[in-house]
Amino acid sequence: MIGSDEKGAMGGHSSPDLSSHDSHAHEPHVAVFTGAARSELDTLLSRYPTKMAALLPALWIVQRERGWVSEDSMAEVSELLDLTPAYVKGVVTFYTMYHQHPVGKYFIQVCTTSPCGMCGAEDTVRALLQHTGTGELGVTSPDGRFTVIEVECLGACGFATPIMINEDFIESVTPEKVPQILAGLA
């Protein structure tokens, strides 16, 4: 693994590779930026002196609307912001939070950096893998509901172990609490 990645010897910055679950790749692209999303983008554009600066916010809108950022969406964004699709892809791949492939309905991120690691984060990961039925990190469960990944420090180290389920932040998660947390999801 070391030295094998173009972006960085240890993987650098990139979204987790979830490519085995890319089933939507060939559907025709329906534009994201119409109606409310379009006016949201216009408001964003007014906040910056360049169009390019609205790129990260625009990608967030895409991910909120579609659950992930497809190549077609990147092309759409690149046109709106006067960028090239390749440029947009270069930016998307730098950041860990943009999904380049569809993920489970509940995307679960668990912090395993040292401070949480010392407080039992590894046990929490094991419990999540077991109870979601994913079994393995980065893999979506057969029912399409869950994907679990390990992430670096979530900035809540005093509340080990913090996890994120989609946009929700949950603190002090222990293996015992996992079944109850998952049961609370629709």
Partner 1 sequence: MGFPHPIHERETPVLSRYFGDAEARGLESWKKRGGYKAMEMALGMSPTEIVNIVKESGLRGRGGAGFPTGMKWSFMKLDDGKPHYLCCNADESEPGTFKDREIMRWTPHALIEGCAIGAYAIGAETAYIYIRGEFTEPIYWMEQAVKEAYAAGILGANAMGKGKRIDVHVHRGAGAYICGEETALMNSLEGRRGNPRIKPPFPAVSGLFGMPTTINNVETLAAVPEILNQGAAWYKGLSLSNPKSTGTKLFSVCGNVKKPGNYEVVLGFPFKDFLYDLCGGPLDGRKFKAVIPGGASVPIQTMEEAEGTLMDYEGFIAGGSMLGSGGVIVIDDAQSMVKQIARLARFFAHESCAQCTQCREGTAWTTKILERIRDGQGTMEDLDTLMSLAENMTGTTICVLSDSCATPVVSGIRKFRHEFESLITGKRVHPVMAAVA
Contacts of 137 (CB under 8 A, 6+ apart): 16, 125, 129, 148, 149, 150
Q: Which does 37 bind (CB under 5 to 8 A by kind): partner 1, ligand FES, none?
A: none
**Closer CB to ligand FES, 75 or 119, in the complex:** 119
Smallest distance, partner 1 to C-beta of residue 115, A:
5
Total residues binding ligand FES (CB under 6 A)? 10
Smallest distance, ligand FES to C-beta of residue 10, A:
18
Outline where DSSP puts E strands in 48-178.
Answer: 106-111, 146-151, 163-165, 168-170
Rounded Cα distance, 62 and 84, in Å: 17
Please pick, from the candidates 27, 34, 35, 49, the single residue that binds partner 1 as defined by CB under 8 A.
Answer: 49
Closest CA to 129 of 114, 144, 140: 140
Smallest distance, ligand FES to C-beta of residue 119, A:
8
Rounded Cα distance, 156 and 152, in Å: 11
Among the residue ranges 4-12, 54-62, 154-162, 171-179, the one whose residues contact ligand FES (CB under 6 A): 154-162
